[in-house]
Structure 1
Amino acid sequence: MEIRTYLDDQRRRVEDRLAALMLEPIGAFAEHIKAMRYSLFAGGKRIRPVLCLAGAEAVDDGEPARQRALSVACALECIHTYSLIHDDLPAMDDDDLRRGKPTNHTVFGEAAAILAGDGLLTFAFDLLSGPASATIADPARIRIIRTIAHAAGPLGMVGGQSLDMIYEGQQVGYEELRRIHRSKTGALITTSVACGAMVAGASEEQEAALTTYGDHIGLAFQIVDDLLDVEATTAELGKPAGSDVKSDKVTYPSLFGTETSRTMAREAVQEAVAALAGFDHRADPLRALARYIVDRKK
């Protein structure tokens, strides 16, 4: 499988659907919606929504399942984009570049950026609970909403971000580091795959296997992110390189060194692919995505 072609095709599907679903900047709320759209349509790899679509395809590669998964994929991208807007704020990571463009708060101001993030987060649940997701059976839809809320909330992404800030400048071990990133980064990645499976009507065994896959690629993704922060340039990343060092954050390279960290990432990918042993060719995109994540350069 040519993974870059697959990524480009799926990214276009997600962006076309986002364009159809997203509010237009007209009327009394035009400036607020403009700020939301600025970050949502600023580019990016769209890894989480693509993982959602690939998770559905691994179970059922029919077009109806793919279409049902699209609204969930779009909601996940709204949540991810909200998290980036808030991460970049002066009170958080204080970055001025994201996806190769000025960060939201540098364009619209801090208050507007906070509200843009809030708007995207809540709009995601509008997509999940409203007409955009009406073709998903209600029992599955309720499970998906709860799963995403848990992954994005105080015991998931937001909680992980809180730990990341609490531990800045402190000496922590592997267990604490793993807890931070399993929550901050891994939870939404794992949930993206699992929710795609739920949309497609996965069995308990399939869902468990895909959740294990997601957990391992979430780890690999974070390790590679940490490596790129010290090895890539700002131009390559589209965001400030070296920001982890600047913020005195604990990372895999700071704890284990670059070579051991790279080995850990590759081992995590191997574990992810092994979790797909019970799936046929329909899971090939997930296998290719796992390898792409560890080999990516940005």
Structure 2
Amino acid sequence: MPQSIEVLSNGLRLRGWLHLPEGIDRHPLVILVHGFGGLKEWTLPELASVLSTVGIASLYLDPRNFGDSEGLPREEVDHLGRLKDLQNAITYATTLPEIDSEKIGIWGTSLGGRDVLATAAVDRRVKAVVAQTPLIHWTDVSGARMAGYGDDLARFHREIAEDRKRRYLGEEARYVPFAREWDRPKHEFLDACSPEELRNHTGNITLQSYAPAALADITPLIRRLGSTPVLFVIAKEDAVPGQRQAYEAVDGPKSLVEVEGHHFSVYLTSKAAAIAAAKAWFVDQLSSGK
């Protein structure tokens, strides 16, 4: 059974699980990071269980502002805060006597795929990366469409600014639905979740979660990965742009695995294939002979 843990990150307590394999040896460890609004109960326990069968430990947390972790406003994606939290999780892992601090990998999916690529580009403690269906570009257009504004960028920017002003004056954050009525793949994923997986899912997310972010395009950071090996797991019908171009931008050791389906298929029909690819990559990169 995984152990409950707390990681202190910039004054916030981030809560999650540490999954240790059997045995008394110091284990390699992979930190698992979910996507936009994703919770620690979604897919990560299954991946952790598979990694444990090959002697690799896992650590995964609820993001700040979500689930069992601290942070306000609730259900707000903090784009830059996520990067700080990932680096603090790496630091936490290096303090654990059961973990080989020279064999730490990071795995991220969707927005988490962006996070692990950006972190590995600047943190040499990372020895292997898996970026699953990574979100490479976070443009005004993509934020507006995900938030339900379509191509009405003027209204999107106006209401983002109005919400910031209200919050500055002490009013509550504005929330929008996490899954829009037209977002069938996201609804399919949520419909497949168990009550336990949905216990901390409110169905809402703050409007500011979709605001333009400084990490509009992480392709330049990808070029800084150096010798850190990275695996891209891409869904053949994923509409998220820039993934293959980002893969081509990697100068160092790399591999590409394509699975069937769309962006959410890696949590559904293609989950087993995606997990198997990650397992094989981390065994190869973090094994005792490396």
Decide: shared fold, TM above 0.5. Answer: no
Structure showing the higher strand proportion among its residues: 2
Structure with higher RCO (Cα < 8 A, 6+ apart): 1
Higher helix share: 1
| TM-score under structure 1 length normalisation | 0.32
Q: What is the TM-score with the length of structure 2 in the denominator? A: 0.33
